[in-house]
Structure formats: C-alpha cells, structure tokens
A = this chain, B = another copy of it.
Amino acid sequence: MAQTDTRMHAIVKDRPGPGLTVTTVPKPSPGPGEVLIAVRHAGVCGTDLHIADWDPWAQGRIRPPIVVGHEFAGEIVQMGEGVTELSVGQLVTAEGHLVCNHCLQCRTGNGHICRNTRIIGVDRDGAFAEFVVMPATNVLSLDGIPTEVGAIMDPMGNAFHTVLTAEIPGSTVFIVGCGPIGCFAVGIARAAGAAKVIASDVNPKRLALAQQMGAQLTINARTDDVVRTVQEATGGEGVDVVCEMSGVPSALHQAFATVRMGGRVQLLGIPRGEVPVDFATEIIFKGVTIYGVIGRKMYETWHDMRRFLTNGMLDPRPVITHRYPLARVDDALAAIRSGDAGKVILEIA
C-alpha cells in the first residue's frame, strides 16, 4: 500500500483547528532500542475524537503536525540497534505511554502514574499509519492473539486495570456505563470469577452488548430505578464492587448508593468539571474505598491481559462493532459520535 519505500499513508492532525487529514508522510526509521512495526489494525478512541474536534484539551496539548492514533497491533519489520528480545516477523502490540523510568513511580513498578509520561499520537507521532516506531520496552508479543484484538488491548487494559485491582472472585460487581471499556469490564469480571455482574447504561444497544459479554442483569438508567434494582438484586445489601466507567454525575451518585458497606468503587469514567458529593453519607459512613484508575499498570496489566486472552477466558470481539479502512477515519469518528457504537477499529493492512 505504501507508495514508495520512503513515504507512507497516515492520518495527520496537520494544523490547529477541527478535522483530520488522510495524507502521506515520511516513513519513520527505528533508532537504537526501537523497532519499526507495520500496523495491521488500530483502535479509534475518544481521545482521537477530541483531537479531531480540536476541543480545549486538544488545543492545550497537541502540537501539529502529528500522526494521531495510539491503539494498534502489527508486525515487526525492522529492528533498531541493540534490540535483542524481539524479532522481525513477530506480531505485537504496544503500550502507548512512554515513561521516564527514573521517577519514584517508575522505579517502584508504577510507571503508569509517571509524571513525565509522553503518549504516542498525542505528544509524538502515533499509529494511524502504515508504520510506527516504538521503543522495544513498550512492545508486547501477541503470542497468538489476533491483531484485531491486539489493536484494542490498550483500552481493554484500562478495563482490566479497573476490574482486577478489586477483589473479584465470588463478588457482586456493578459496571456503570457500557461503552466499549464498560463492555470489556463486564467480560473480564465474569472471567475473573464474579458471582454476579450487573451493568447499566442509557443506550439499549450498549446494554445488549453488555449482556452478550456476560452481564446477568442489565439496567436501563433512563427508564429504570438503578439504585432500587441493584439493591433488590443483592438482597438489599448493595454490591461488593462498583466500576464507574461513564463519567456521568448521576451515575457517580448511583455508584456510591449501590456499593455495600465496606465495598469498593473503581473510578475510570472522567466527569467534566466538578460534581457535588455528600462525603458523609456517600463515602465515609459507608466505610467505602475508592480507587482512581489511570491507564494500565506497566506491565502487570498487560501480562494479565495476555493470560486471559491466550487461555480463552475472554473473547472481546463482540464489542468490535465497526471496522473501516484507514482512509475512512471520518466515518469511524462518526460511528463513535453516534453513541451506538461499541469499539471502532481501522483495518490498515
């Protein structure tokens, strides 16, 4: 597909302002400690939408021109100097967060909260392209996982991090919000031994996806009384674990109202602006633990993920509802905007 040996197709944010451009750019080369990967599949994320829409966050962070995209999988086609643990021909995915390896967090196994993180497709060229260069340390072998699944391991990793940092075996789990990451979380909670998985959303299509991923009870937050339904399904006790994946203020209150005394609330959804909270009744008097989930643990989450995916514990593919070629990135973004999509991916090679 590459026009010449030295240029490649890519999706570029080429100027400050709305829109993305399908164009050609120079094909990159791997430096020392890096590899060049021919991208096969890439996942489209809400972050890409923010960049396309040029919202305030994007205006503050993005410095065009830049190749966008940070979720992908593909084949190693060239090795930089000094890389020994990988090989040409290997199918891989990669963690898109490039961390400093020097700060306290990096040195104590918590690189995911490194304060010096740079993200591909945000702070440097990304993966919506025929080729991408990555540091070898960030690259993970797929070990038989299909590249279309490998391409969505980044967001799935957020779901894994959210679910597996709670105590799941035998627990009742309430997934609040059934976007792609919420739907992944449903499947992960079931695979990890949850006794009962309940899921809520306002969109019936997304609730159907959640059910397909294993939710034993789904609640339409637009038409049903969420709190009462969860209480009834748990003998009035509330659930052991809530995973808040929506960022919607009313859902946040439902999270606190449905967790049991002494339970745990995992927060991944990002509310816009401030949300008023009654700390006394919603959190303190209930003895609740809350965990703010950011990214994926590097590389504990990736390791867990490979275990689940290579042992047949979880098939995330029902969540992939839309597939487009690279050139139709605008259609991919439109599918996300519709609110009806599960995961949207680009088929690049």
Contacts and interface: CB of A to CB of B under 8 A. Distances in A.
Copies of this protein in the complex: 4
Interface stretch (A17-25, A70-78, A121-129, A279-287): A279-287
Interface residues of A, number: 64
A244 to B, nearest CB: 9
A271 interface: yes
B262 A110 contact: yes
B109 A108 contact: yes
Contacts of A293: 284, 287
A324 interface: no
A28 to B, nearest CB: 20
Contacts of A287: 110, 112-113, 292-294
Given A279-B270, A287-B112, A107 B192 contact: no
A56 interface: no
Interface stretch (A2-10, A38-46, A222-230, A307-315): A307-315
B300 A109 contact: yes
B192 A303 contact: no
A273 B281 CA distance: 9
Contact of A193 (B192, B196, B237, B277): B192
A101 B137 contact: yes
A232 interface: no
Interface stretch (A59-67, A163-171, A203-211, A327-335): A163-171
A5 to B, nearest CB: 30
Contacts of A274: 276-278
Nearest to A32: B32
Contacts of A298: 107
In this complex, which of A101, A278, A291 has the most chain B Cβ atoms within 10 angstroms of its Cβ? A291
Contact of A169 (B110, B137, B168): B168
A290 interface: yes
A95 to B, nearest CB: 10
Nearest to A236: B115
B311 A196 contact: yes
A85 B112 contact: no
A263 to B, nearest CB: 10
A153 interface: no
A191 interface: yes
A88 interface: no
Contacts of A292: 279, 283-290
A181 interface: no
Interface in A107-157: 107-110, 112-113, 115, 137
Identify the 4 closest CB pairs spanning chains A and B, nearest first.
A109-B109, A169-B192, A274-B276, A192-B193
24 contacts: A107-B302, A108-B299, A108-B303, A109-B109, A109-B300, A110-B262, A112-B287, A115-B261, A169-B191, A172-B307, A191-B193, A193-B193, A274-B278, A275-B279, A276-B276, A277-B277, A283-B292, A284-B292, A284-B293, A287-B293, A288-B291, A288-B292, A289-B290, A290-B292
